[in-house]
Amino acid sequence: MTKFDRERHMITVYDFEDGLQHVLSYVLSTATSIRYWDRKGFLSEIEDTSGKNIVIMSKPYDCLHRGVLRNKYEDERGLKDWSRRNWRYSNPEIYEHINEIINRMEDVLIILPEDFANDSIRKKIFDFIKLDIKASDEKLIQIYKENVNIK
């Protein structure tokens, strides 16, 4: 397999900053690359969308709150990042950015956070990359409960 073939078959997982891409990457049975729609409240530049792409449609405020739970915004700089991200998630620019990137993708699978709580994630992943995920149904439900609709 040439370098070009390896790059074309790479799996890339996308989500917001502090999203579920690391979690999904961990439970996949293959190597992945991770991308963020945004970093510190700024839009990420994503040029290459070749290969297989998995897009997690997390709720942005769940992602922002995961950062809060990790004490990411304790200092003045962190508070500025939180403020910028909070503003970014409340205007259409980020969603236009995401839509633009998804429209450039040739091979894409959309995962909803709710897919972690039912068998649909296992079937979607298998149908897309022909590999099972290495997590029990109980673990997937736990991931859902800890990461979706966070209070």
Model pLDDT for residues 89-138, shown as the tens digit of each residue? 999 999 999 999 999 999 999 999 999 998 899 999 999 999 999 999 99
Categorize the per-residue pLDDT at 29 as very low, low, confident or very high, splitting at 50, 70 and 90.
confident
Does residue 119 sit in helix, strand or coil? coil
What is the residue whose two structure tokens read 């792409």? 53
Distance (Å, rounded) from C-alpha 13 to C-alpha 51?
A: 11
Q: Which residues pair with 109 in a beta bridge?
A: 54
Categorize the per-residue pLDDT at 9 as very low, low, confident or very high, splitting at 50, 70 and 90.
low
Q: Choose among 54, 37, 68: nearest CA to 111.
A: 54
pLDDT at 45: 94
pLDDT at 8: 45
**C-alpha torsion 2→100→107→17, nearest 10:** 80
The whole model's pTM is what? 0.90
Q: Which residues pair with 33 in a beta bridge?
A: 12
